[in-house]
């Protein structure tokens, strides 16, 4: 078993593409086969500097190590198509020799004229209907075209099932462009054969070209590999293909937002595949064990960022609980608010320990923890308009806070003592927990939510906590 991921370095890997890396990887690992990374860089107009590195970084981040490909090499090196030109030319010569390919001297404006004629007559444009009769010997600088042999074709696709077409869609496709480099259509067939790829797993955008590929395999005398077409990933509305316009971000953008690679691999693997159970959380090794081509669904799968973030929250909890705070902590680097820099790792670990179970992405640390590192801006509206507090007058609120300060002042500053002091305050003030605790919580943080109050107090420390309660007392008294 040999599978491959064959990206074109035309930009970043977006969510819609990366599944074409995950499934071949899982399959190869499961069957103890090989997973190849091949860089399809023959379209020089769309080539983007640095894209190959970005692709490799993304794969490594997801834990999809390739067995053959750039950097590590392999028996079929090189793995960049631009470095394999002589191989494509060798195969092209075979087609030329057998009369199955021809050099095309037709100028582009003439081709456009043919195309326009067809548009005007409302008939499909097929180049074979305009095949030049007098063709020169092929040399670099002239496009090389396939001489198609249209006929009905049947094939099997592991996901799409038994498929068939009539002759109408097969055409004289370009094999080698004017610049001497092959088209995707030709190069991937040659490479998959040279590299002994057994399973071609790719997106649905290639499905309509398969009849042309079948004709090429036949003309080249090659066995057709097992074809696996992945259904589209649909945008949030579920009725069209996910596009950059729907915010189809790069995989790396999610990494920078604090989505964990464990989540991303899990989420994308399950986008259009399931193992028939209700399980939602899969480790890398479980995916390898459970994956099967037969359970890839035929219809498009909807990309749902809310679900992705939910899953990330689950993974965060799981990893922190498995590894412990100290071991997980280095993965939070870079996600803290700037004000956290003034504090040591020990204090940040304390903050992380009480808040991690509320995070969806690590970048939430930036917005959700700043009050642990700097005094929040007092915004009395948050208190006065709070649904539990709006029935009290400012004087009453001041009184509750003063009672709280008085009680907490004499309390040992540990989680347990703080909890019992808070419970006693409930009795003496006769307030409900939602009332008293909202008041103290807002006065400490001015944030939409915070961890359990005793934990927040314990982490902030006596001095900071009391100073913040006093500042709010002063502000309310002067309001």
Length in residues, the chain: 479
Measured CA to CA, the distance from residue 34 to residue 72 in angstroms comes to 13
Under rule CB under 6 A, which residues in 165-184 are in contact with ligand GLU? Answer: 184
Nearest by Cα to 19 from 186, 246, 241: 241
Pairing of strands 153-157, 144-146: unpaired
Q: Which is nearer to ligand GLU, 229 or 266 (CB)?
A: 229
What is the nearest approach in angstroms of ligand GLU to the Cβ of residue 52?
12
Residue 317 CA: distances (Å) to CA of 334, 448, 453:
19, 21, 20
Measured CA to CA, the distance from residue 365 to residue 360 in angstroms comes to 10
Q: Please give the angle made by the CA atoms of 240, 244 and 246, to the nearest 5 degrees.
A: 55
Which range binds ligand GLU by CB under 6 A, 3-11, 83-91, 370-378, 393-401? 3-11
Q: Which is nearer to ligand GLU, 7 or 211 (CB)?
A: 7
- CB 356, CB 316: distance < 8 Å: yes
- Asked whether position 320 contacts ligand GLU by CB under 6 A, the answer is no
Binding residues with ligand GLU: total (CB under 6 A): 8
Q: Which is nearer to ligand GLU, 199 or 441 (CB)?
A: 199
Measured CA to CA, the distance from residue 201 to residue 167 in angstroms comes to 25
What is the nearest approach in angstroms of ligand GLU to the Cβ of residue 6?
4
What is the nearest approach in angstroms of ligand GLU to the Cβ of residue 150?
23
- Asked whether position 202 contacts ligand GLU by CB under 6 A, the answer is yes
- CB 302, CB 234: distance < 8 Å: yes
Q: Which is nearer to ligand GLU, 202 or 284 (CB)?
A: 202
Which range binds ligand GLU by CB under 6 A, 5-13, 46-54, 119-127, 292-300? 5-13
Q: Which is nearer to ligand GLU, 79 or 446 (CB)?
A: 79
What is the nearest approach in angstroms of ligand GLU to the Cβ of residue 367?
36
Which range binds ligand GLU by CB under 6 A, 4-12, 233-241, 425-433, 461-469? 4-12
Q: Which of 2, 3, 8, 199 binds ligand GLU (CB under 6 A)?
A: 8
- Asked whether position 40 contacts ligand GLU by CB under 6 A, the answer is yes
DSSP 164-221: EE-GGG----EEE-TTSPBPHHHHHHHHHHHTT--EEEEEGGGGGGHHHHHHHHHHHT
Which range binds ligand GLU by CB under 6 A, 2-10, 116-124, 218-226, 466-474? 2-10
Q: Which is nearer to ligand GLU, 8 or 438 (CB)?
A: 8
Measured CA to CA, the distance from residue 311 to residue 259 in angstroms comes to 9
- Asked whether position 7 contacts ligand GLU by CB under 6 A, the answer is yes
What dihedral angle (degrees, nearest 10) is formed by the CA atoms of 150, 151, 156, 159? 50
**Displacement of CA 210 from its chain's centroid (Å):** 27
Q: Which of 2, 3, 6, 52 binds ligand GLU (CB under 6 A)?
A: 6
Query: What's 228's DSSP letter?
Result: E
Q: Which is nearer to ligand GLU, 215 or 408 (CB)?
A: 215
- Interface map 389-408 toward ligand GLU (x if CB under 6 A): --------------------
Which SS3 state, helix, strand or coil, does residue 227 take? Answer: strand
- Asked whether position 234 contacts ligand GLU by CB under 6 A, the answer is no
Query: What's 219's DSSP letter?
Result: H
- Asked whether position 188 contacts ligand GLU by CB under 6 A, the answer is yes
Q: Which residues of 92-118 are buried (b: 16+ CB within 10 A; e: fewer)?
A: beebbeeebbbbbebeeeeeeeeeeee
- Where do contacts with ligand GLU occur on this chain (CB under 6 A)? 6-8, 20, 40, 184, 188, 202
């Amino acid at each position: 078993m040999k599978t491959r991921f064959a990206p074109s370095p035309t930009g970043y890997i977006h969510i819609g593409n990366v599944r074409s890396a995950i499934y071949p990887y899982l399959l190869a690992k499961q069957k103890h086969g090989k997973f190849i990374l091949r860089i399809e860089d023959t379209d020089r107009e769309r080539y983007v500097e640095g894209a190959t590195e970005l692709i490799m970084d993304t794969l490594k981040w997801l834990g999809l190590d390739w067995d053959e490909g750039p950097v590590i090499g392999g028996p079929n090196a090189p793995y960049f198509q631009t470095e394999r030109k002589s191989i494509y030319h060798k195969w092209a010569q075979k087609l030329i020799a057998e009369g199955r390919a021809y050099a095309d001297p037709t100028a582009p404006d003439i081709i456009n004229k043919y195309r326009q004629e067809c548009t005007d007559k409302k008939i499909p444009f097929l180049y074979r209907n305009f095949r030049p009769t007098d063709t020169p010997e092929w040399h670099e600088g002239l496009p090389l075209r396939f001489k198609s042999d249209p006929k009905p074709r049947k094939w099997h696709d592991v996901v799409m099932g038994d498929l068939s077409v009539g002759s109408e869609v097969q055409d004289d496709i370009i094999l080698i462009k004017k610049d001497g480099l092959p088209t995707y259509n030709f190069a991937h067939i040659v490479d998959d054969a040279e590299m002994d790829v057994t399973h071609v797993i790719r997106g649905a955008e290639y499905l309509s070209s398969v009849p042309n590929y079948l004709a090429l395999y036949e003309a080249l005398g090659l066995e057709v590999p097992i074809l696996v077409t992945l259904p589209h990933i649909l945008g949030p509305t579920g009725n069209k293909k996910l596009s950059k316009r729907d915010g189809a971000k790069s995989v790396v953008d999610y990494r920078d937002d604090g989505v964990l690679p464990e989540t991303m691999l899990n989420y994308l693997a399950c986008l259009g595949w399931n193992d028939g159970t209700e399980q939602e959380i899969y480790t890398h090794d479980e995916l390898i064990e459970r994956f099967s081509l037969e359970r890839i669904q035929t219809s498009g799968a909807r990309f749902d960022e809310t679900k992705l973030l939910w899953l990330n929250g689950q993974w965060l909890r799981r990893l922190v609980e498995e590894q412990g705070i100290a071991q997980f902590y280095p993965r939070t680097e870079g996600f803290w608010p700037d004000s956290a820099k003034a504090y040591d790792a020990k204090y940040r670990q304390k903050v992380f320990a009480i808040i991690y179970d509320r995070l969806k992405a690590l970048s939430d640390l930036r917005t959700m923890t700043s009050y642990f590192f700097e005094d929040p801006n007092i915004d009395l509206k948050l208190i006065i308009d709070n649904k539990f507090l709006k029935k009290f007058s400012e004087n009453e609120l001041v009184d509750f806070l003063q009672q709280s300060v008085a009680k907490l002042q004499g309390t040992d500053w540990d989680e347990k003592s703080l909890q019992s002091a808070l419970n006693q305050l409930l009795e003496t003030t006769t307030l409900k927990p939602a009332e008293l605790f909202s008041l103290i919580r807002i006065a400490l943080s001015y944030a939409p939510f915070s961890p359990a109050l005793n934990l927040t107090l314990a982490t902030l420390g006596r001095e900071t906590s009391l100073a913040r309660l006093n500042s709010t007392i002063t502000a309310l008294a002067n309001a």
